[in-house]
Every structure is written in C-alpha cells, then in structure tokens.
Amino acid sequence: MAATALSACGSDVTGDDLPEQMGNATPAPSPASSDPAGTVLPFDAIEDLDTTEGVIAVRTANELHVGTVEKLREGTADTLALDEACGDVSANAGVFALGCGNTIMLVRAADSTQAETLEVEEPVTAATVTTGGEVLAGSDSERKVWLYRDGQLADTFSVARETDQLQAVPVDGQADSVVRVNHFDTTIQDIDWGTGRQGGTLRVGLGVGKVAGGTDGLVLAADATGNQLLVYTTDDIIRLHQMAPVPESPWDVAWDEDTQLAWITSTATNTATGYDISRGVPLKRSEFATVADAQSIVTLDDATLLIASASGEGLQIIKSTDRELADLPAATASATQVPQN
C-alpha cells in the first residue's frame, strides 16, 4: 500500500522528522495537452478555483474573477484586485474567503462586485467561512487557528503545524466540520472549533496536494506523491475510509453531488478521472483529457466540471454530456477500504 494511514479514527501525528520523499509535494509538470474535453476559455495562469451556490471564483496571480459560467464565458465576471499576501480561495455557504496577511477578504456569491474585509492582527494566509457565518483563519507561519464571530476575534487555539489549506465542510443536522492541511508533513487535521480544540491528525499518503469538501462531512484528498485518492468523513472525528490508486501526480479533487462521483486531476497525464465511492472502494467510472497543468477542479450542481490550468492554457468547462460514464465493474481488488476502529 503506497499511502500511510496512521489510523482510521484520527491518531495524532507528532515530530518534525519525515521519511525521505514524504511531504512537500509539488505537481508534476504536464506534457503538452491533446484535445481537452469540452470547451476551453482563454485565461491567464490560474492558481486556484472554487465554487459556491453556482458561482465560481477564479484566482490568478493578482486578481479574483467571480461569476457564473455564463459570465465567465462572456467575460463579464466581476474582477477584484488581490494583494500579493493573499493565499488560496476557500468557498462555503455562499462566501469566498482568502487570508491576506492582516486582512481576511470575504466575497459573497450573491454580490461579488466588491469584497468585505475583516482587519485582523494575526498573520493569516488561509481562511474559511462556516454555514453559521463564523470565520476561521490559519497561517503558514504559526501553529494556531483563529475564530472570528461578528467581526471580532472569539477564540485562538493551537494546531499540530502551520496551515496551508483550511476548509469548512457542511454536515447534516450539526455545525460544519473544519479541516486544515499541512504540506510539509502531508497531514490533515480536523478542528473542534466549537470548543476551541484541535482534533485528530492523519497522514495523507506520501505527499498531499489539495483537499476538497463534499456533502455531509465528506472530504476528498489527492496524494500527489503516492498517486492516490483518499476519502475521509468528518461528521464526528476525521476518519480515513477509502483509498485507491489513480493516474500519476494527482493534485486536486472535487465531489460531484449530481453524479455521486469523486473527481481527481492528474498533471502528469493530463487527465481527470471520476470514481464511484458508494461500494466502499473507489471504482473508476469516467476519464477524459484535460488542459495542461490542471491543478484546480470544481463541480457545479448540474454536474458541470471546471478545470483550471496553472500554466495559462485556460479554464476548461466540461458538461455532463461531454463525458461518458462506464458501468461499475464487478472487481474491487484495485482499491483498498480502510478498516474502522
């Protein structure tokens, strides 16, 4: 098994020493793209991509473009300037959030003509908004997470390491779960933000790329070094449930609620692959060609996929009619279900 699962139920990871070739993953450079599926919109190099309530945020080096697919096609999406201190964009509950040094930038999907700013004293580089409106922020230079309510700092608590990605995930019938990711030691940690405590920490294979939330506490992760898709639940504590080998150098993931597929992009092969996870092991159902350096992917409610090139090859739009779904295979030997405690 290529990945290292410390525990399905959330054992803590400690120490700064890692085996050679573990952690600090980077996406493999892509070969030249060949006939990417769907349509491709011209765009500068895209650093990140996220969506909420049918609105997409496209992050380039110093701008955030926000709008529907139609507005992106027409070139009429709202464009907001970004400070060089801003990190990646996180989307949840109709709000896009970015940590920008001593400012948290909030952009509402319903009105993206201008951003709201939350001035903070902490050096934030990652931020996310819960369904209840709380704002959580982390830093790539401090081992802390900060919780803000109504524009005020409400709590500060320690976490396992610095934070490279922070994401709130809706959970049916309860408060959102929140997970944070550290690239150095390739870990994911859930945060018990309601009580101001850090949760369990799990190793994400050999080198985590990006993670993404789905519905009801589902979290997907790309193991870029170990070439795997990992499937977690976070409705109480974080648990690793499934893992499967995928094409080389996977980097980003997305959950398609309409077709119930977990999607993952692989930069070394210029492919996006969709997996069914309903049978306890990920089973491949679809695959298509992508733009080069496909380092970001999101899905919309109608099963449309958007894939972004980090090298300037554009924003790829793939409707459900642009791809085929294979029948589920009978064999499941190619994937591994993690036993639960």
Structure tokens at 75: 């070139």
311's CB contacts (< 8 A; 6+ apart) are 30, 45, 292, 293
**For residue 6, is pLDDT > 70?**
no
Torsion of CA 282, 91, 22, 273, to 10 degrees: 30
- Could you give all domains of the chain from N- to C-terminal order, each with its CATH number? 39-337 (2.130.10.10)
Segment 90-106 shows an average pLDDT of: 98
| % of the chain beyond a pLDDT of 90 | 89
**For residue 206, is pLDDT > 50?**
yes
Pairing assessment for the beta strands 197-203 and 187-192 based on DSSP bridges: antiparallel
Q: Rounded distance, CA 2 to CA 273, Å?
A: 19
**For residue 306, is pLDDT > 70?**
yes
Q: Rounded distance, CA 38 to CA 280, Å?
A: 30
What pLDDT, on a 0 to 100 scale, did the predictor assign at position 4?
31
User: Residue 9: how many CB atoms within 10 A of its CB?
Assistant: 15
**For residue 57, is pLDDT > 80?**
yes
pLDDT tens for 124-157 read 999 999 999 999 999 999 999 999 999 999 999 9
Q: SS3 of 6, please?
A: coil
> Is the alpha carbon torsion for 106, 172, 253, 143 positive or negative?
positive
pLDDT tens for 207-225 read 999 999 999 999 999 999 9
**For residue 288, is pLDDT > 60?**
yes
Segment 194-215 shows an average pLDDT of: 97
What pLDDT, on a 0 to 100 scale, did the predictor assign at position 1?
28
Segment 275-303 shows an average pLDDT of: 97
> Kind and range of the H or E element at 69?
helix 69-74
Task: Answer yes or no: are the C-beta atoms of 181 and 197 closer than 8 Å.
Answer: no
Closest C-alpha to 122, from 79, 166, 81: 166
What pLDDT, on a 0 to 100 scale, did the predictor assign at position 21?
79
**For residue 13, is pLDDT > 80?**
no
